[in-house]
Structures are given as C-alpha cells and as structure tokens.
Amino acid sequence: MKIRIENEKCSGCHLCEAVCSLYHLGVINTEKSAIRIEKDDLNTGLNSPILCRQCKQMKCLGGEDTDEAIEKKKFIWPAARAERCPFRALPTLREKTYHCDLCGGRPRCVKVCTTGAITLSAR
C-alpha cells in the first residue's frame, strides 16, 4: 500500500496535517505531523503534500541493524533518519522525526482530503 499525491489537486487546506497529529498524538499540531504541505510561491504556485514514500529499500534506515517491517509501523523515529531521506520527506521537530506509518492501514489523510489530492494505491 502506498499514498499517491497529485499536487495540482491540493488546495493547501492543511487538514491532512491536522488529522495526522490528532490521530497519532491526540493533539492538533501540524508541526507534529508526518505529512506537510509546502507551497511553491515562486514558480508554480502549487501546494505539495510531502510524506514518506514507503520506499522498498529505505535509505533512511541505512546503516542501522533494524527490522524494516517493524520500523515502517512506527510513527516517531530518531531525528538522524530524516537526514538520510533523499526526498526530504521526514519532518523533524525537537529531535523527533515523524514518519508516515499509513495509520495502520487506514490513512486518515486520505480520508479527509476533499479534493482527491491524496489517494491510496496498492503500490
């Protein structure tokens, strides 16, 4: 399972960020979300949802003696992993990195995205 993004459809409402932190931590705090919206004000003007791409070979875990299957299910990771992500897709706040765990198989961001910018695919 993988989340697909269509930047052209994103309205920039930030509901996905809010529901992510609310579901995982019980608070609405977009800085503690595994998804973030970046806006390209200079070129395209598009809003871009950014989150873990669920890579088959996770470079962010490189050099660690860990079980990828177990780590994929965790929401909070050590901050050092964000530095190894080639896509800059792991938001960090105060030594914690927020990783998309697909909400245990039912991603809440997909559910609240009214424009269809965030969807779910088999792979």
pLDDT at residue 48, rounded to an integer: 92
**What pTM was computed for the model?**
0.89
Residue 110 is inside which H or E element, if any?
helix 108-112
pLDDT tens digit at each of 123 positions of the chain: 889 999 999 999 999 999 999 999 999 999 999 999 999 878 877 899 999 998 888 999 988 999 999 999 999 999 999 999 999 999 999 999 999 999 999 999 999 999 999 999 876
Give tens-digit pLDDT for 79-112. 999 999 999 999 999 999 999 999 999 999 999 9
Residue 118 is inside which H or E element, if any?
strand 118-121
pLDDT at residue 123, rounded to an integer: 65
Q: Tally the domains of the chain.
A: 1
Instruction: Count Cα atoms within 13 angstroms, Cβ side, for 78.
Output: 7
- Give the end-to-end CA distance of the chain in Å, rounded to a whole number: 5
- Domain containing 69 equals 2-121
pLDDT at residue 5, rounded to an integer: 94
Q: Residue 100 carries which side chain, given as an amino acid letter?
A: C
pLDDT at residue 44, rounded to an integer: 79
pLDDT at residue 23, rounded to an integer: 97
